[in-house]
Structure 1
Amino acid sequence: MTTKAQYVVAVWLANFNHEKELHNYLEVTYDEDGNSQSGFGNAVGLDFDSDFLEHASFTHTMKPEEIISGVSFSEYFKHDLTPLINHDSLSAHNTIIFLYGKQDIYGTINEHIFSLVNMPRKQLPFSFIGTVKFEIENQ
């Protein structure tokens, strides 16, 4: 029996001076109680499974299609995401961050991303682009 998994990807654009700064911001650490935290998670107000976080650096001469290609599952969401990214937003950033949620017969991962509509109103060091939902058949 073939079933479909529901996915959602939330996308942000950011600007970092170097790879180490980006790594430190995205890195998830755990306290003695096992609670996770990261600069990124704290900024957006989300607790998430870091295995479902991905990023890519880009230059200002790249087109959205080039930036998205090669990212996990991009063949399923690139046509819906590309129109959300414009040249002006790319010119102020050099990094794109993807956070995925998944729901299938085995359970849900990062379930709060499915209902993510608006970002918290606090000042963020990056821009929320939006979310795109898509389906993939389970094998």
Structure 2
Amino acid sequence: MPFYSAKQLYMMTKAQYVVAVWLANFNHEKELRNYLEVKYDEDGNSLSAFGDAVGMRHFDIDFLEHASFTNAMKPEEIINGVSFSEYFKDDLTPLINHDILYHHNTIIFLYGKQDRYGAINEHIFTLANMPQRQLPFSFIGTVKFEIENQ
């Protein structure tokens, strides 16, 4: 039977996650969906207006989530309904103030995960700042958190 250190056992029981968050303003749901949609060219390369804008050529669309909101909503109300929010809302809420919400109506979440089974969207773990180009939305930041492996 192999011997595992305490650190190895810890790493096998915890999944490391990160969520990158953007605020955007879209006129209607169809416009948002078209912007987020991932399409593939003849060579199998993924294409996405969102991915191009944030400098990510490849990401797993299954780990992308968005929600619409009104100016009357508080940050915690907006965040509460999304996946894993119980793990990161306390760290994310202070990054979103009323002034920045006023100019947006959509929040976009892209998750990264790393566990004993491998990594998904692992490049998000190192995402610190947005590329220096004009974006149709605001990068809020990233929050890291852990969840017990199932």
With the shorter chain as reference, the TM-score category is over 0.9
Q: Which has the higher contact order (CA 8 A, sep 6+)?
A: 1
Q: Which residue of 2 aligns with 1:80?
A: 91
| Root-mean-square deviation (Å) | 0.9
TM-score normalised by length of structure 1 = 0.98
Moved over 2 A (4+): none
Question: Unpaired segments of 5 or more residues in structure 1?
Answer: none
Deviation string 1:73-120 (CA, Å, 9 cap, x unpaired) is: 000000000000000100000000000000000000001000000100
Q: Which residue of 1 aligns with 2:148?
A: 137
Distance across 2 between alignment mates of 1:65 and 1:45? 28
How many residue pairs match? The answer is 139
Asked whether 1:33 is paired with 2:49, we answer no
Whichever of the two has the greater Rg, that structure is 2
**Pairing partner for 2:27 from 17, 30, 37:** 17
TM-score normalised by length of structure 2 = 0.91
Question: Unpaired segments of 5 or more residues in structure 2?
Answer: 1-8
Asked whether 1:59 is paired with 2:70, we answer yes
Distance across 2 between alignment mates of 1:33 and 1:53? 23
Distance across 1 between alignment mates of 2:124 and 2:34? 22
